[in-house]
Amino acid sequence: MAKLLLAALCLLGAGVLSAQDENYLEATTQPATGNVQQGATQRQCLSFAIMRLSNFGDTFQTVTVRNNGTAQAADFNQLQIWFDANDSDTYEPAGPDQLVASAASSAFPVTFPAFNHGIAAWSVFNYFISVDVAATATVGATFCWR
């Protein structure tokens, strides 16, 4: 009976491996702490990667951003998601990195409107999130992204 159970577990394990179809969020990172001028646009504030473990592609469709700092909706105009199109791990909004979606300012957490960005099979796609700081942002307000 023990041998039969072991064989059954091995088959179950093989089945799980062959049916692998998952996405993983790799560690998020923030730029070094520093000051940002009022009215600054497209300032990188967060980066993350999605690792796709599957023989099939998938579609990335939403992001929700939280702020553990003191900045409020009036302190920024919009957030944007950028795809690291040249896989350089460097934020290059002037090109070749590509704008994926924009979210207008609102109270945190900010959820981006639905978008569709294809992720290839067996890949790691890097993304950046940028902020447009309001010209009238509160001096001393902080962004601490999650």
Nearer to Ca ion, 67 or 126 (CB): 126
Question: Residue 5 — φ and ψ, nearest 5°?
Answer: -65, -40
Residues forming beta bridges with residue 117, ordered by sequence position: 60
Among 31, 40, 92, 105, interactor with Ca ion by CB under 5 A: 92
Nearer to Ca ion, 30 or 54 (CB): 30
Q: How many residues bind Ca ion (CB under 5 A)?
A: 6
Name the residue number minimizing CB distance to Ca ion. Answer: 88
CA distance 40 to 32: 16
Shortest distance (Å) from residue 133 CB to Ca ion: 22
Nearest to 78 by CA among 132, 141, 136: 132
Shortest distance (Å) from residue 49 CB to Ca ion: 12
| Structure tokens, 44 | 């990188």
Cβ atoms of 124 and 49 closer than 8 Å: yes
Nearer to Ca ion, 71 or 131 (CB): 131
Nearer to Ca ion, 30 or 98 (CB): 98
User: Which of the residues 93 through 122 are near Ca ion (CB under 5 A)?
Assistant: 97
Shortest distance (Å) from residue 100 CB to Ca ion: 13
Query: What 3-state DSSP class applies to 54?
Result: coil
Nearer to Ca ion, 44 or 72 (CB): 44
Beta carbons within 8 Å of 90's beta carbon, 6+ residues apart: 84
Region for 140 from its dihedrals, namely left if φ exceeds 0, alpha if ψ lies in -120 to 50, beta otherwise: left
User: Which of the residues 31 through 90 are near Ca ion (CB under 5 A)?
Assistant: 84, 86, 88, 90
Residues near Ca ion (CB under 5 A) are: 84, 86, 88, 90, 92, 97
